[in-house]
Amino acid sequence: MAKGKRSYEEKTADPAAQEMLIRADELGIGTAFSRADDMVPCNIGGAGMCCKLCGMGPCRLTKDGQTGVCGATIDTIQARNFIRAVAAGSAAHSDHGRDMAFTLKAVANGEAEGYVIRDVAKLRTVASYYGIPVEKRSPQEIANDLADLYIAQFGQQRGEIVPLRRAPKKRQELWKQTGVVPRGIDREVVEALHRTHIGDDQDHRHILQHAIRTALADGWGGSMIATDVSDILFGTPAPILGMANLGVLKDDMVNVIVHGHEPTLSQMIVAASQDPEIIEYARAAGAQGVNLSGICCTANEILLRQGIPAAGNFLHQELAILTGAVEAMVVDVQCIMQALVDLSSNFHTHIITTSPKVRIKGALHIEFDEHKALTIAKQILKTAIDNYKNRGKTHIPQVRENLIPGFSHEYINYMLGGTYRASFRPLNDAIMAGRIRGVAAIVGCNNPRSKQDYLHTYVTQELLKQDVLIVETGCGAIAAAKQGLLLGEAGLDKVGPGLREVCETVGIPPVLHMGSCVDNTRILTVLTQMVEEGGLGDDIDQIPAVGLAPEWMSEKALSIGTYCVASGAYVIFGGSSPVSGMPDRVADSDLVLNYLSQGWEELYGGKMEFIADPDEMIRRTLAHIDAKRAALGLPAWDPQRFGRSGDARMLELEALPVAQRRAAIYG
């Protein structure tokens, strides 16, 4: 029996993870899976009913009508807890965006060792959105202006942040009317903290209005800037062959895992790992070379652009070290468990922190500086190679799966129409005809309180059967990759007949991997372009689409969910609600929960719900998609109408004698 209360099969759907959890138990080592079993979650804090904002508390509201010492009611406390989480998530994404903008500035001025502007076309396109002149100017000049504009968005005090202009016109008007246009990215985060200080904003609706504004500063601000600059500097993703799961680690090579979120250092480590000097250094140490892989969203960044394998998603970070085959885990920011250092002391693995913002007690720190990135990347790799001789017994699960990631919105546009007529028309037409019933974005984290990857992949597979096209990012995308759902032809026998026709015709997988957490902005762009293409209404809230984060755990996920609601989407979170309250004990504790759903829907056309049961998630997703189809006057989804074209039809025809084939084709 596994350490902790659940069996291995109940903890994870991934066979590689099950194998490593058995090894952890054999070695007597705890992981997040066993700690989650041992740590009973606090039902008061979990329901958003605890306030510790001042020294008169903490106040735990567990009785009907009870208030805190200051008189704060349950709805005020829940709304304050919620907005503080959104502010932290928005800050994390946006600070990432800020660092990217500073890197762009350094590259434009020739001060960033080893970096170049890889996608000049995207640089010119993005600059044009903001009226930055592009004709007869060098990429460096354009990048300099764009970097200045983007850096200014963070400290701007008045007006509106510029990426907002890329939203549908009607949505921009709605944001103005409802007073949620972000003035500056940092300003909204600071104001969220100010409003929730003791004695400030005390109307849950007013607090949550600012949660919308703070989240918009993330999605249509910091995160969008991060995605833009990453593409400009490292290349806009296009489909590429990749591989996922712990089986990508190699016994005869120096294994280096990059983990976290920012692509600046990891991209340089990719370059350094292929440098003849480093390969020779590794050979001299007795290894065949350096084998680089990723965990979490840093994995997604280099998987999407260079096809560097992903060792796994969030809950794989400890399991990778348990293989005993990892010489160094190089971390930057976000989603890095403190447990890594203690765990690695059982093996030879170096945990190397690199961000000036993140230190972990006991970890090695080699600070990253974009001005000498290549030098630092080589130093990190040499540290890992020097550690190869200390490797003991290894246990690498032989589980890995191929995938095709890299579906940027630019590539989707191109793939649907080709170089000379790139457009979203074929996608809109397929939805309007009913071949594609609707679109679902399945994103977000792993959470050890639910069975790893199960909710992501179960919901994905069930929606595919219903002709729902899926786009994915973050750890959800890696979950689908590990289950073989991100391959061109592999999953098509499991998708609905209409969606299958479209995938076969265009040559795409039914699940499109669009990137990392900040790349959820690519989904906003796709939705905007679908609106602009016409036929699916004049704003995002009219599109038959739903966003799901079945295994969420981070504050960033709440920020993403909130900006998607503000953009008009129906967002479903799995697991527990941070504002659920305990209705049997506090009668008005559902005020905030209902406001995030009905209240926000009245204002923004999008809503947020927390649904633990995956079948209920699927039912509500399909009901929402069908309701949106009906509101647009589109035909009701009918799977019987399609499936008579595409590869299946070709195979049928090929099996016929020539005369009959001719008759079938020409009548």
Contact between 605 and ligand MSK by CB under 6 A: the answer reads no
Does 444 interact with ligand MSK (rule: CB under 6 A)?
yes
Burial label, 135 (beta-carbon count in 10 A; 0-12, 13-18, 19+)? exposed
Q: Measured from the CB of residue 603, what is the shortest distance to ligand SF4 in angstroms?
A: 27
Q: Which helix (H) or strand (E) holds 90?
A: helix 74-108
Give helix 74-108 / helix 139-155 axis angle, nearest 10°: 160
Tell me if residue 51 falls in helix, strand or coil: strand
**Does position 45 bind ligand SF4 by CB under 6 A?**
no
Nearest to 327 by CA among 247, 249, 254, 245: 254
Binding mask 292-311 for ligand MSK (x = CB under 6 A): ----xx--------------
- In DSSP terms, 331 is beta-bridged to 259, 353
Q: What strand order describes the sheet that includes 545-549?
A: 511-515, 468-473, 438-442, 545-549, 570-573, 607-610
118: alpha, beta or left? (left if phi > 0; alpha if psi -120 to 50): alpha
Sign of the torsion formed by the C-alpha atoms of 471, 406, 475 and 98: negative
Cβ at position 590, least distance to ligand SF4 in Å: 19
List Cα–Cα distances, 52 to 48, 57, 190, 198, 563, in angstroms: 11, 6, 19, 10, 26
Among 27, 42, 56, 152, binds ligand SF4 (CB under 6 A): 56
Nearer to ligand SF4, 198 or 240 (CB): 198
CB 453 within 8 A of CB 476: no
69 touching ligand SF4, by CB under 6 A: yes
Measure the CA–CA gap between 73 and 422, rounded to whole angstroms.
54
Residue selected from 517, 531, 565, 596 as contacting ligand MSK according to rule CB under 6 A: 517
Site for ligand SF4 in 196-215 (CB under 6 A): 198
Taking alpha carbons only, the member of 396, 436, 377, 414 closest to residue 639 is 436
The pair phi, psi for residue 180, each rounded to 5°, is -120, 15
Min separation Cβ 562 and ligand SF4, Å: 22
State the distance between the two ends of the chain, measured CA to CA, in whole angstroms.
64
Kindly tell me the number of DSSP H helices and DSSP E strands found in the chain.
29, 16
Closest approach of ligand MSK to the CB of residue 482, in Å? 13
Burial 217-247 (b: 16+ CB within 10 A, else e): bbbbbbbbbbbbbbbbbbbbbebeebbbbbb
Residues 180-199, one symbol each (x = binds ligand SF4 by CB under 6 A, - = not), give ------------------x-
Residue 445 binds to ligand MSK (criterion: CB under 6 A): yes
Site string for ligand MSK, 401-440 (x = CB under 6 A): ----------------------------------------
Site mask for ligand MSK (CB under 6 A), range 213-252, x = bound: ----------------------------------------
User: Quick one: which of 45, 57, 417, 535 contacts ligand SF4 (CB under 6 A)?
Assistant: 57
Which of 22, 54, 238, 240 is close enough to bind ligand SF4 by CB under 6 A? 54
Binding to ligand MSK by CB under 6 A, coded x per residue (else -) over 531-570, reads -----------------------x-x--------------
Nearest distance in Å: CB 76, ligand SF4: 8
Question: Which is nearer to ligand SF4, 59 or 308 (by Cβ)?
Answer: 59
User: Which of these segments, 50-58, 278-286, 382-390, 439-447, binds ligand SF4 (CB under 6 A)?
Assistant: 50-58
Q: What are phi and psi of 521, to 5 degrees?
A: -65, -25
- Residue 70 in contact with ligand SF4, rule: CB under 6 A: yes
Nearer to ligand MSK, 21 or 297 (CB): 297
- Looking at beta carbons only, is 58 or 488 nearer to ligand SF4? 58
Contact of 242 with 300, CB cutoff 8 Å: no
User: Which amino acid belongs to residue 318?
Assistant: E
Residue closer to ligand MSK, measured from CB, 263 or 496: 263
Structure tokens at 286: 């007795």
By CB under 6 A, residue 329 contacts ligand MSK? no
Alpha-carbon Rg of the chain, whole angstroms? 25
Residue 162, interface with ligand MSK (CB under 6 A)? no
Locate tokens 């970070």: which residue? 317
The reply on whether position 663 binds ligand SF4 by CB under 6 A is no
Q: Among 471, 631, 412, 531, which residue's Cα sits nearest to residue 172?
A: 531
Which member of 15, 30, 45, 58 binds ligand SF4 (CB under 6 A)?
A: 58
Helix pair angle (409-417, 425-433), 10° resolution:
80
With H, G, I as helix, E, B as strand and everything else as coil, classify residue 572: strand
Task: Note whether 319 binds ligand MSK by CB under 6 A.
Answer: no
Query: Is 53 a residue that touches ligand SF4 (CB under 6 A)?
Result: yes
Question: Which of ligand SF4, ligand MSK, none does residue 554 bind (CB under 5 to 8 Å by kind)?
Answer: ligand MSK
- The answer to whether residue 335 forms part of the interface with ligand MSK (CB under 6 A) is yes
**What's the closest the beta carbon of residue 552 comes to ligand MSK, in angstroms?**
7
User: Which positions lie near ligand SF4, rule CB under 6 A?
Assistant: 51-54, 56-59, 68-70, 72, 77, 198
User: Which positions lie near ligand MSK, rule CB under 6 A?
Assistant: 261, 296-297, 313-314, 335, 444-445, 474-475, 516-517, 554, 556
